[in-house]
Amino acid sequence: MAENEFPGWHGTTIIGVRKGGKVVVAGDGQVSLGQTVIKGTARKVRRLSPGGFDVVAGFAGSTADAFTLLERLEAKLEATPGQLARASVELAKDWRTDKYLQKLEAMLIVTDGTDLFVITGAGDVLEPEHDIAAIGSGGNFALAAARGLMDSETDAEVIARKAMAIAADICVYTNGKLTVEEISK
């Protein structure tokens, strides 16, 4: 098999839902290599606490690349305590301009309980509409499901869990073994 034919790591679903003064980030546990499930219980949602300032981050893409980005985000948060937006913009600028970081293949959803952002390698720091952010191969399925549930009396965690269940039923690269983190301000 030629190098450019290697199937590569593929797929995941991460969702962030902000409702009722809380933000919930949920991610599935499946890691796939081509058409094979390599692991079903990966933790793709993490709590960071640089300088006592809590942030929840979820990632889609290469795990090693995501951990590199999470370390950089932690450093930015330590340099700008309590300023998630500023730290996110600084990370996105570095990611876009640094030759090493440009090769990283991942996306992040980050929140401090108030702000909710998607950070990409294109230099984007996006604040989602409708208080929902979703990334990964099943992201659009989870996003659509969550948007349909937002007008209900259901809280953020239930919406995130139901949306992830729907995504797992549709996307073959997403499973139902969730990591869920809640944060509020």
Q: What is the pLDDT of residues 71-80, one digit of tens each?
A: 999 999 999 9
pLDDT at position 10: 55
pLDDT at 184 over 70: yes
Residue given tokens 């390599």 in the structure block: 38
Which residues are within 8 A (CB) of 178 and not within 5 positions of it... i.e. 6 or more apart? 26, 27, 28, 29, 161, 164
Angstrom distance (rounded) from CA 60 to CA 92: 16
Residue given tokens 């980005």 in the structure block: 69
pLDDT at 46 over 60: yes
pLDDT at 5 over 60: no
In this structure, the number of other CB atoms found within 10 A of the CB of residue 29 comes to 19
Degrees, nearest 5: CA angle 159-160-162: 65
pLDDT, averaged across the chain: 91
Per-position DSSP letters for 34-100, written without gaps between them = TTEEEES----EEEE-GGG--EEEEEEE-HHHHHHHHHHHHHHHHHSTT-HHHHHHHHHHHHHH-HH
- SS3 label, residue 116: strand
pTM of the full predicted structure?
Answer: 0.92
Which H or E run contains 26? Answer: strand 22-27
Angstrom distance (rounded) from CA 70 to CA 57: 8
Q: Are 31 and 63 in contact (CB under 8 A)?
A: yes
pLDDT at position 146: 98
Which tens digits make up the pLDDT trace of 148-172?
Answer: 999 999 999 999 999 999 999 999 9
Q: Which residues are catalytic?
A: 12
